[in-house]
Structure 1
């Protein structure tokens, strides 16, 4: 059997990425890493994946911070692809899972309270020029009341925000999932005000269909809120000694955690309602949503209390 060439491996990798995207996977960082590995193989004129080469690439030019974790994540990309390649040609080796293991890690969320959200929105309103402050404040407010991903809010177009029916249409989000998010009347009022300010600011000059626009009259870039967020945290007086570092994505964690806490307090059947929250948040399945049960000590306590009651441990009242 003729040995595969490096360019054949590249074609196989592109076909694999296309297939997985067809199944709904975005593969942004995964595709970048896999193509890096393919280039590594092409530079060495190697068309067959081996564990030695995979490990060499995983350790090659990796950031010096958290090396073991970074190496493991890089090797995992090759391992996933190698399973596909091996099914086509068994000469491709699948790196063993116990080489450079990469344990799953999740950043601990910062759970905002109501006053902190208000302070952040006020701080955002103080940004200059004035329209930048309007955009940033409304952006933060929408994140806090809907639990949307920041990327989903950035991608919103005018047609996606149906203020007449109080709905936001999230189109082709993570895993190609689309959904509708109902809005509270107070949120509709704020978004309607921003849309009017947006039209006045554009003055008929802007051609973008984006709902949120920046001072250059184009779509509000994902880097913008990240750039200003440390300044807003400082202006709002939000510090986190002994707590996780506050992030924009934590508004989503806060929304999910509060929803679950309210359900427990109200005696709802949380396990039965979890698929509802999963659908609302745009998760693929409820197991991704169950992680939010660890959001706060209070929520963990409520969940543990409910579990204890359902199991009716000996010595407890029936």
Structure 2
């Protein structure tokens, strides 16, 4: 997985899945593991509460594990290869924050490294970056023309032209940035110890700010918000502003346009107009008020 350039978080997740599976086969030789062993493991995961998405990731982990064993000539067959993936919900409406809620979110940002934290939240909420993409950003990725070059999923680069207000915030964060103590890389976001800010710390910055937002806006108390929901909020704003689906796909770095299309269900003007066209034709009886 390292040779293929997969992220550390994906690497760790796949490794954990493979180890947990192997713990269920009673130390059997991998050559003796069958399709039934894999199916039994996935069924147990479902019984313990794993959803379709999690189950499919575990299946992908095991497929990759056995494929690697085949490549290393340790065995001939892949017992996970022919097992069908679970059907996942399609067009599920994503959780997001409204524009006024995002404004209150920015007002809630606190901490010693204020400019850095504002830049982190803005990049997720107003540029659509994933947590891992914020983590991997280097100083040279913020170009003089005001764009950022982002290394996304699948080791694919994309260019995002930033609006002026966001450029100013990034420059301020860069001016207050601590010097890096070791390594040749120049990470954009640096911890108090002079190292690249970890994914967990970036999530903490967002989660702590969201917690303060919920305290300020009790109506959001039951809303399942996280750092990734800020990316959903960005996509929602773009759709409502009239951005076409192909452009949004490029901005978000989605490999498939099908992934981007979930956001079209949030504010689809054509659907509303179609329904409004028949509103005058609905036969309401006079007895109803």
Per-residue deviation, 1:229: 3.9
Question: Which residue matches 2:156?
Answer: 177
Per-residue deviation, 1:244: 3.3
Per-residue deviation, 1:44: 1.2
Write the distance in 1 (CA, Å) between the matches of 2:60 and 2:198: 29
Question: Which residue matches 2:60?
Answer: 77
Per-residue deviation, 1:64: 7.1
How many residues are matched?
Answer: 268
Asked if the contact 2:46–2:55 (Cα under 8 Å) also holds between the matched residues in 1, the reply is no
Change (3 A) 1:286 1:75: closer
| 1:47 corresponds to which of 31, 37, 42 | 31
Per-residue deviation, 1:307: 6.4
Which structure has more RCO (C-alpha within 8 Å, separation ≥ 6)?
2
Question: Which residue matches 2:236?
Answer: 257
- For residues 92-171 of structure 1, what are the structure 2 equivalents within 5 Å? 92=79, 97=84, 102-105=86-89, 109-124=94-109, 126-127=110-111, 130-131=112-113, 133-162=114-143, 164-171=144-151
Write the distance in 1 (CA, Å) between the matches of 2:78 and 2:123: 52
Write the distance in 2 (CA, Å) between the matches of 1:70 and 1:245: 17
Write the distance in 1 (CA, Å) between the matches of 2:141 and 2:54: 40
| 1:212 corresponds to which of 189, 206, 209 | 189
Write the distance in 2 (CA, Å) between the matches of 1:249 and 1:91: 34
Write the distance in 1 (CA, Å) between the matches of 2:224 and 2:264: 19
Unaligned runs of 5+ in 1: 1-16, 264-269
TM-score (norm 2): 0.74
Write the distance in 2 (CA, Å) between the matches of 1:145 and 1:70: 27
Write the distance in 2 (CA, Å) between the matches of 1:284 and 1:227: 28
Question: Which residue matches 1:279?
Answer: 250
Question: Which residue matches 1:197?
Answer: 176
After superposition, the C-alpha distances for 1:288-310 in whole angstroms (9 at most, x for unaligned) are 1101123x3xx04x14136679x
Asked if the contact 2:94–2:263 (Cα under 8 Å) also holds between the matched residues in 1, the reply is no
Per-residue deviation, 1:170: 0.9
Question: Which residue matches 1:267?
Answer: none
TM-score (norm 1): 0.68
Question: Which residue matches 1:5?
Answer: none
Write the distance in 2 (CA, Å) between the matches of 1:218 and 1:82: 32
Write the distance in 2 (CA, Å) between the matches of 1:78 and 1:214: 32
After superposition, the C-alpha distances for 1:257-293 in whole angstroms (9 at most, x for unaligned) are 1111221xxxxxx7xx322221121111211110112
Q: CA RMSD in A?
A: 4.0
Question: Which residue matches 2:286?
Answer: none
